[in-house]
Amino acid sequence: MSDATFRTVITIFVCLATLAMVSQALFAFGAFRMVRQVRGRLLGLLDRAEPVVDRASRIVEEARPRIDLVTRTAMEVAETTRAQVQRYDLLLSEAAERARVQVDRIDYAVADTVEKLTETTAAMQRSLLRPVREVNGVMNGVRAALATLAMGKRPTVEQVTQDEEMFI
C-alpha cells in the first residue's frame, strides 16, 4: 500500500474514532442530564413522602397498644376454645363408650330372649305333639283292628301279593 493511501485510511479511521468519542461524550452528557432530572424528581417525591411516612409511623405507634390488646385477647380466646374442645371431645368419647356398652347389653338380652323363646317353642311342640301322636297311633291301631274284624276272614294270598306289588 502506498504512503498516501495509508495516510488516507488512517485519517478516515481517526475521524471515525473522533466521531465515536464525540458521540459517546454527547451520550454521557445526556445521561448526566437525565440522572440530574431523575434526582430532582426523586428529591421532590422524597419531600412529599416524608410527611406520609412520619404520619404512618405515628399511627402505627398509637395503634401498637390496641394491636397488642387484640393479639392477647385472640390468644386467650384460642386457648379457651382449645380447652372447651378438649372437654367436648372427652364428653363425646365417654358418651360413645356408654352407648357401646348399652348396645352390647341390648344385643345380649335380645340374643338370650330369642334363645329362650326357641327352647320354649321346642318344649311346647314336644309336649303337645307327643300326646297327639300317641292318640293318632292308638286310633290307627283301633281302625286296623276294626277293619280286620269287619272283614271277618283273612285276605287271600293273591290279595296280599297284589297289595305288595303295588308298593314295589
pLDDT tens digit sequence for 44-98: 888 888 888 888 888 888 888 888 899 999 999 999 999 999 999 999 999 999 9
Report residue 152's pLDDT band, with 50, 70 and 90 as the boundaries: low
Q: Is 84 within a domain?
A: yes
Q: Is 81 within a domain?
A: yes
Q: Is 24 within a domain?
A: yes
Which residues make Cβ contacts (< 8 Å) with residue 155, sequence separation at least 6? 163
Which residues make Cβ contacts (< 8 Å) with residue 163, sequence separation at least 6? 155
Q: Is 161 within a domain?
A: no
pLDDT higher than threshold 80 for residue 151: no
Structural domain for 129, as ranges: 3-150
C-alpha cell at 49: 413522602
Question: What's the number of domains the chain is made of?
Answer: 1
C-alpha cell at 76: 386467650
Mean pLDDT of the chain: 87
pLDDT at 78: 93
Q: What are phi and psi of 155, to 5 degrees?
A: -70, 150
